[in-house]
Amino acid sequence: MPTILVTGGCGYIGSHTIVDLVKNGYDVISIDNNSRSTTRLLEGARKITGQEIINYTIDLCDFEATRKVFQQHEIHGIIHFAAFKSVDESVLMPLAYFQNNLTSQINILGCAEEFKVPWFVFSSSCSVYGNADIIPVTEETPLKKAESPYGRTKQIGEDMIMDLAKVSATRFILLRYFNPTGAHPSGIIGEVPFGRPSNLVPAITQFAAGKLPALKVYGDDYDTRDGSCIRDFVHVSDIAHAHTLAIGFLAAKTGKSACEVFNLGTGNGVTVLEAIGAFERVTGIKLGYSIAERRTGDIVAVYANNDKARKLLNWSPEFTLDDMMRTAWNWELVLSKTS
C-alpha cells in the first residue's frame, strides 16, 4: 500500500488520522519534534491499530533533517499538520508563528517537489475566512482579513500551495477545519493541551475535572442569538477520516483542479453557551462559568457549508455534539487517572 507521511503525527488530529489511515490499509510514518505534542498519542495510535508507526523526532524547520526522511522512504502522500495553532498565543508571539508555520511548510513542500511526491493534503482552518459577511461559508466565500497571526499563516500557507500547484506535478487538497473536538471512542487517544487550553472544549473538561480554577466565556455581547461566539464543532474522528478520503480522491485523479479546497464542518453553528449547555446535559455536571472581556483574535461567527466535501469526498460527519462532549469528557477522565 502507499506510504503516507503525517507531519505532526504525535498531535491531536495527526494521531487520529494515523489511526484512520492504518485502518484503511495505508502504511504511515510520522515527523513530529514533540515541541507541542506528546509521544503518548502516537503510542495510543499504535495500541489501537496494532501497527508499529515510525516517528522521526525532527524539526521541519531543519531542511536537511527533513530531507533525510525522504531519502529513506518512498513517500506517496503527505498530510501536513505540523504547526503552532493557538490563536491567542499567536497574537502575543506573531514572529514565532510566522517563523515556525511558514518555514516548516516551505521545507516540506520543497521535499515534495524534489522527491516528486504525487499527493499533498494541507491542514488549513476556517480562520482563513475571517469575519465573513455571509454564513455558512462555502469554499468560494471571499477571504476577509485574518483576525490573528495564526489565521494569517494559514492564508499565506494556502496561497503558497495554490501558486506552487500551477507549476507542480503534485496534486493538492486544502482542508479547512472548523472546530475539531472530542476524542477517539476507544478512550485511548484525545486532545492533550500544552499549558492553559485555548480551545473551548478542553477548557470545559479541565474545569469540570478541577484542573482549571475558572471557566471564562470571552464576550456575551456579540451580535449572535445569545451574545456568545458561534462555532462549528466537528468530531476529531470525522476530521481524521476526511484525510483518508482526501488521499483516496487524489489517488483516483478525479479532481478537475491541481488544488482543491474543502470545508470540514458539520454545517451547524453552535454558540459557546450552547456548547457549555451540551456538556452539562451529557455529563450532569453544572459548570459555574464567568463572563470575561472579548478576546483579541476571535471571529464572531463561522460555520460551514460542507456540500462539496459530501459530494466529492463522500464525507459525512457521523458524530453529534453530544458525542463530542461525551468522548471529550471520557478522555479527560482517562487523563486525570494517569497524570
Q: Which residues are annotated as catalytic? A: 150
Q: What are phi and psi of 55, to 5 degrees?
A: -125, 130
* Sign (positive or negative) of CA dihedral 242, 243, 248, 249: positive
Cβ neighbours for 252, distance < 8 A, ≥ 6 positions apart: none
- 318 by Cβ neighbours in 10 Å (0-12 / 13-18 / 19+) ranks as exposed
First CA to last CA across the chain, in angstroms?
37
Cis peptide leading into residue 136 (ω within 30°) = yes
Reference 261, options 304, 300, 302; nearest CA is 304
Q: What are phi and psi of 87, to 5 degrees?
A: -60, -50
